[in-house]
């Protein structure tokens, strides 16, 4: 297996870079759309059910079928793959944002109102920071999903580590399959770890008074 790495090391790094680029762009788009939408839906809860249900339906479309549907609209390559992965990233981020912001305690909201905060200030300065751990858990889940599903993007010419996996399956080359699979797993674990660190940074710090002090 080390012979494969020696011969194809530079190409492997390029494939890892492609895979990371596709995944991070799709996840970033998902965050930019789903987090604001989830916050907006907490203001219009009557419409939240149908919208979240629609996004849930999109999630049930088989990955290869969704990629195939992208081809007539966007051709082949990275663009349709990014759009398909973006669609898959929406549900966990949207749902967690909606739940996290909705579940902020009424007493905290009332206190903020008593301090003279406007509704927008309450959302930005109170609800979103308190909901950050729940929102970030949705982003972490979406990140792992997107990195895993990005392997299928090679079917429509998007590149990435899926090229090694599917080419290896076609020619029964276990080394290619191995060097395609292991980096995907490591990327997913790394993304989960880094997003977990970011979650701790964004989570509000609370202190508890010790008895007798």
Predicted confidence pLDDT, tens digits, the chain (213 residues): 667 667 777 888 999 999 999 999 999 999 999 999 999 999 888 888 999 999 999 888 888 888 888 888 888 888 999 999 999 999 999 999 999 999 988 888 888 888 888 888 888 888 888 999 999 999 999 999 999 999 988 888 888 888 888 888 888 888 888 888 999 999 999 999 999 888 888 877 655 444 444
Tokens linked to 1: 């297996």
CB 34 within 8 A of CB 90: yes
How would you label 51-73 residue by residue, b for 16+ Cβ within 10 Å and e otherwise?
A: bbeebeeebeeebeebbeebeee
- pLDDT in the model for residue 1: 61
Instruction: Tell the CATH superfamily of the 2-202 domain.
Output: MetI-like (1.10.3720.10)
Q: Where are the domains of the chain?
A: 2-202
Q: Which residue has the tokens 């729940």?
A: 134
Give per-residue pLDDT as tens, 35-79: 999 999 998 888 889 999 999 998 888 888 888 888 888 888 889
Distances (CA, A) of 174 to 126, 149, 150, 164: 52, 20, 20, 10
Q: Which of 172, 23, 39, 13 is nearest to 89 (CA)?
A: 23
pTM: 0.87
SS3 per-residue string spanning 81-123: HHHHHHHHHHHHHHHHHHHHHHCCCHHHHHHHHHCCCCHHHHH
């Amino acid at each position: 297996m080390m012979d494969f790495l020696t011969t194809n090391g530079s190409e492997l790094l390029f494939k890892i870079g492609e895979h990371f680029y596709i995944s991070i762009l799709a996840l970033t788009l998902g965050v930019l759309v789903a987090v604001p939408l989830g916050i907006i839906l907490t203001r219009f809860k009557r419409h939240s059910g149908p919208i979240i249900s629609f996004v849930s339906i999109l999630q049930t479309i088989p990955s290869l079928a969704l990629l195939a549907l992208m081809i007539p609209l966007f051709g082949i390559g990275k663009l349709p793959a990014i759009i398909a992965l973006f669609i898959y990233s929406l549900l966990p981020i949207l749902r967690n944002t909606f739940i996290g912001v909705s579940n902020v305690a009424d007493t905290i909201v009332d206190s903020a109102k008593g301090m003279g905060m406007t509704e927008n200030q309450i959302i930005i300065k109170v609800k979103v920071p308190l909901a950050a751990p729940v929102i970030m858990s949705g982003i972490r889940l979406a990140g792992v999903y997107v990195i895993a599903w990005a392997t299928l993007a090679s079917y429509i010419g998007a590149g990435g580590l899926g090229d090694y996996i599917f080419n290896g399956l076609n020619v029964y080359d276990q080394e290619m399959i191995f060097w395609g699979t292991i980096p995907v797993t490591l990327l997913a674990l790394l993304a989960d770890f880094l997003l977990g660190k970011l979650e701790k940074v964004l989570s509000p710090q609370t202190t508890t008074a010790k008895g007798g002090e």
